[in-house]
Amino acid sequence: MKSTSTKLIFFFALLAVSIFLSAPGVAQGVYSTLYWPNFDISGTLRQIESINVNGTGRTIVVSQANVGDPTAVEVDPVAGKIYWHDQSPSSRIRRANLNGTGVETFVASSGFASTISLDPYHGKIYWPNFDVSGTLRQIERINLDGTGREIVIPQASAGEPIAIKVDGLNEKIYWFDQANNRIMRANLDGTGITIFVAGSGFASQIDIDPVNGKMYWPNFDVVAGTGRIESINLDGTGRGIVIPQSSAVDPVAITLDVPNGKIYWYTQTPSSIRRANLNGTSVETFIANPGYASTIVIPKQMSGTLPLRLLSFSGKEQENHIRLVWATAAEVNTESFSIERSQNPADFRAIGSVAANAASGQYNFTDAGIASGQTYYYRLKMLDIGGAFTYSPTIQVQTGSSTRPTGYRLFPNPVVSDVLYLQALNGDPSPIRLRIVDLQGRIILQGSYTYKGDRFEVRVANLPKGQFVLQVATGESAEFQSLKFVK
């Protein structure tokens, strides 16, 4: 790591952007709008902008005359407020209505707040109070009504806190300690401080996916000027690269759009906001000229608020359909489960619904509208009687190839009267190519067969006694399905 002074020079270059994206199933407006401070570090432009997530309607939300020097930005969609850190003339956290009116100072003398994190579950705002001109390093919070400012993580434990993220659902706070190149974690009351990710790289932004239990951050090499985006499970396992350096380039900030299966990040070269699927595929440029962007936050719809626990959720192809199975516990006032399907991790649509049955907690759904050789993604939208909902994790099911047999039944086995019968499980009468091989792989018999009634008939009178493998394929497929039998 570089010296503290060198790191601070780099950090001052990291001025902020905030992205706020849509969450399906809630009101439009802020949930389909992206917000960020356009901070031109080579000039004098300072303003907070917004754009629809479909790429239209870019506009100024808080003008240069009212914004000061904006860095970290956060949005409270319920109260209709936007928060930002104004570093000049003195460090303070300000807020305004989402239409840019009602600008006011929310926290005076906040210290340098490189990030701001909303905890809607407990009605609080958190930030790192980083005194760049002195030695004060601590994490603070305040109620959304402006009362109760207090220290959560004191200087003795905080290290040099930069990025912070509150997981109110699981009652944890995470922060990047640049002095020790690591991501830390603690309970919301400041107890239970542990090292969560050692050797994290410079993580100027952290985001949490509480639904799927993951954390994401940009691992930025300050010396080399390159980086990648990584993730880790919230239980501390499964650390891996999501966006490699070739696509991430030099990422400084990230945010997640979990309902739509997207990750967004700001890269400095060239200056742009990019996005991809959460699995790292389909990388594209979303905004080509956002201004310098260093922190990204997306206030998410509150998750997990329904009084139930999803114990399991799985899917499996069975003949010509996919069967989904899930189990719950501790259901209270659950109304129904809407089943949503997509052929990519983003564009979901409802395909059916299952009424709640809290007494059993056991559910299933059959999706018959599938095709062979496809990948399907499923999630559950779990609703209560008041209309609130949350999403399950997304699962993936792969169906068989369109040129590969969906399955056959071979009988009688062992052979009786020197005749074998082969029956397509899906009733497909298409002609087949068939061969019989011994256990050494030598072809003993082969040919083409057509349906007789509801089955194929294979005469094996000339086969010696022993074990054999019948191999079958349809159409022009080079892939054979193997079925062992005894004569």
The CATH number for 82's domain is: 2.120.10.30
* Mean pLDDT calculated for residue range 452-465: 84
Task: Judge whether 177 and 160 are in contact, CB under 8 Å.
Answer: yes
Tell whether 43 and 153 lie within a shared domain: yes
Do the beta carbons of residue 436 and residue 460 sit within 8 Å?
yes
Query: 246-250, long-range: CB within 8 Å, 24+ apart, which pairs?
Result: 247/274, 247/276, 247/280, 247/283, 248/218, 250/220, 250/225, 250/226
Q: Is the pLDDT of residue 189 over 70?
A: yes
Q: Which residue has the higher pLDDT, 195 or 440?
A: 195
Which of the four pLDDT bands, split at 50, 70 and 90, describes residue 18? Answer: very low
Q: How many CB atoms lie within 10 A of CB 160?
A: 18
Answer whether 77's CB lies under 8 Å from 31's CB.
Answer: yes
- Residue 441 covered by a domain: yes
Are 48 and 39 a contacting pair, CB within 8 Å? no
Q: Where residue 353 sits, what CATH number does that domain have?
A: 2.60.40.10
Does residue 303 lie within any of the structural domains? Answer: no
Distances (CA, A) of 232 to 127, 218, 240: 23, 12, 7
User: Do 332 and 458 belong together in one domain?
Assistant: no
Q: What are the beta bridge partners of residue 226?
A: 221
End-to-end alpha-carbon separation of the chain, Å?
72
Q: pLDDT tens digits, residue range 204-233?
A: 989 998 777 899 999 988 677 778 999 999
Alpha-carbon distance of 138 to 21, in angstroms, equals: 30
Among the ranges 176-190, 295-309, 370-384, 468-482, which has the highest mean pLDDT value? 176-190
What is the per-residue pLDDT for 313?
86
Task: Please list the alpha-helical segments (H only) found in 107-190.
Answer: 155-158
CA atoms within 13 A on the CB side of 115: 30
Residue 296: inside a domain, yes or no?
A: no
pLDDT confidence of residue 4:
39
Residues 6+ apart with CB under 8 A from 122: 168, 188
pLDDT classification of 479: cutoffs 50, 70, 90: low
If pLDDT is split at 50, 70 and 90, which confidence band does 10 have? very low
Predicted local confidence at residue 221, as pLDDT: 80
- Among the listed ranges 305-309, 346-350, 466-470, which one has the minimum average pLDDT value? 305-309
Which of 52, 53, 115 has its CA nearest to residue 262? 53
Considering the domain architecture, whether residues 220 and 347 belong to the same structural domain is answered as no
- What is the mean predicted confidence (pLDDT) over 184-189? 93
Secondary element (H or E) of residue 412: strand 408-416
pLDDT of 197 strictly over 70 = yes
Q: Which amino acid belongs to residue 262?
A: K
Task: Evaluate whether residue 299 is within a structural domain.
Answer: no
DSSP state of 32: G
Question: Token pair of 75, please?
Answer: 């949005």
Question: Residues 122, 187: one domain?
Answer: yes
Residue 226 lies in a domain: yes
Task: State phi, psi for 8 to the nearest 5 degrees.
Answer: -70, -35
> Per-residue pLDDT for 192 more than 70?
yes
Q: Total domain count for the chain?
A: 3
Percent of the chain with pLDDT over 90: 34
Enumerate the β-bridge partners of residue 141: 126, 150
User: Residue 470 sits in a domain of what CATH number?
Assistant: 2.60.40.1930
pLDDT, tens digit (0-9, with 9 covering 90-100), for 125-135:
999 998 766 67
At residue 117, the pLDDT reads: 94
pLDDT exceeds 60 at position 383: yes
Residues 236 and 321 grouped into a single domain:
no
- Do residue 376 and residue 452 come from a single domain? no
Q: Under the phi-then-psi rule, with left for phi > 0, alpha for psi from -120 to 50, and beta for the rest, what region is 304?
A: left
User: Where among 287, 319, 353 does a domain terminate?
Assistant: 287
pLDDT band (50, 70, 90) for residue 328: confident
pLDDT band at 305 (very low <50, low <70, confident <90, very high): low
> d(Cα 127, Cα 141) in Å, to the nearest integer?
6
Q: What is the pLDDT of residues 385-420, one digit of tens each?
A: 767 777 787 888 988 754 444 577 888 888 888 888
- Looking at 398, 433, 456, the residue that finishes a domain is 398
**Residue 85 falls inside a structural domain:** yes
Using the predicted structure, report yes or no on whether residue 324 has a pLDDT greater than 70: yes
Question: Residue 32: what pLDDT?
Answer: 75
Which of 398, 427, 448 terminates a domain? The answer is: 398
Q: Among residues 18, 16, 25, which one has the least CA distance to residue 380?
A: 25
Supply the DSSP string of 205-239, one letter for each residue.
--EEETTTTEEEEEEEETTTTEEEEEEEETTS---
User: In whole numbers, what is the pLDDT of the chain averaged over residues?
Assistant: 82
Tokens of 476: 């022009």
**Residues 194 and 313 both lie in one domain:** no
Q: H or E element: which one contains 245?
A: helix 245-248
298 within a domain of the structure (yes/no): no
In a domain, 292, yes or no: no
347-to-237, 259, 378 alpha-carbon distances in Å: 29, 9, 11
Residue found by looking up tokens 């892939």 in the block: 479
Joined tokens for residue 179? 């002095």
Rounded to an integer, the average pLDDT of 480-484 is: 77
Cis ω for the linkage preceding 128 (within 30 of 0): no
**pTM, full prediction:** 0.61
- 370 & 416 share domain: no
Domain that holds residue 255: 4-287
- Asked whether residue 422 falls in the same domain as residue 353, the answer is no
Question: How do residues 239-258 score in pLDDT, each as one tens digit?
Answer: 999 999 999 998 988 988 87
What span, in angstroms and rounded, lies between the C-alpha atoms of 21 and 35?
8
In sequence order, which residues have a C-beta less than 8 Å from that of residue 364 and are 6 or more positions away?
323, 324, 325, 326, 354
Confidence of residue 7 (pLDDT cuts 50, 70, 90): very low
**Partners of 266 in the β-ladder:** 253, 273
pLDDT digits (tens, 9 = 90+) for 80-119: 899 999 988 778 999 999 899 999 999 999 999 999 999 8
Average pLDDT for residues 118-147, to the nearest whole number?
86
For the cut 70, the answer to whether the pLDDT of residue 27 exceeds it is: no
At 446, phi and psi to the nearest 5?
Answer: -155, 155
Same domain for 126 and 216: yes
Dist CA 80 CA 391 (whole Å): 23
Q: Are 246 and 34 in contact (CB under 8 A)?
A: no
More confident residue, 378 or 425: 378
Q: Are residues 344 and 475 in the same domain?
A: no
Asked if residue 191 and residue 144 are part of one domain, the reply reads: yes
Strand, helix or coil for residue 30: helix
Q: Which of 32-41, 432-441, 477-486 has the lowest mean pLDDT?
A: 477-486
